[in-house]
Structure formats: structure tokens, C-alpha cells
Amino acid sequence: MVVKSTSTYNRIKDILMGLVAKGGIRDLSKDEIKDEALDQQELEFLLSRIKDMTFKGSELEILTKVVLKLQNRYIKLTDSKE
């Protein structure tokens, strides 16, 4: 069964595919990764957007992995603020 995709999902997918096709995604150095780390507000935004999206069954495995990583990072950020 295929779950109907939302326009937000399709837009994100189009952007990512465009970046890959144009060579816009590249390996980052350790310093660049630190500079590009997501803050708490950005993580909350992504998690809430993902919550409201629909996905194909074939995407669930990677989605689960991504959400777990985002949640773990969010928990670390919120724990360090307490």
C-alpha cells in the first residue's frame, strides 16, 4: 500500500534531488559539521514537520532511522540545558 505524499514532502524531495544532481551535497569536514549542527529550535521544527507528513511504506525504514537520530540529538540538547 502506498501512502499519499504531501506537497511539503514532494517539495523537500525535489530540493534534495536537485542538490544531488547539481553536486550541491558534499562531504563536510569536522569543523563544518560542528558549524552546521542543528539547534533545539531547528530540531523541533523538523520533528514537528515530519510528524505531519505522510510517507510511503518503502520509506519507513530510513524514516525511522532519521527520526531516532533527530530525537536523540534533541534529547541531548534539552538535557544539557537543565
Q: What sign results for the dihedral spanned by CA atoms 18, 57, 59, 51?
A: positive
Return the domain boundaries, the chain: 7-81
C-beta neighbour count of 67 within 10 angstroms:
14
Q: SS3 letters for the chain?
A: CCCCCCHHHHHHHHHHHHHHHCCCCCCCCHHHHHHCCCCHHHHHHHHHHHHCCCCCHHHHHHHHHHHHHHHHHHHHHHHHHC
- How do residues 21-36 score in pLDDT, each as one tens digit? 666 656 667 766 666 6
Mean pLDDT for all residues in the chain: 78
What pLDDT does residue 81 have?
A: 74
- pTM of the prediction? 0.56
> With 80 as the cut, is the pLDDT of residue 52 above it?
yes
Q: Which residue has the higher pLDDT, 3 or 80?
A: 80
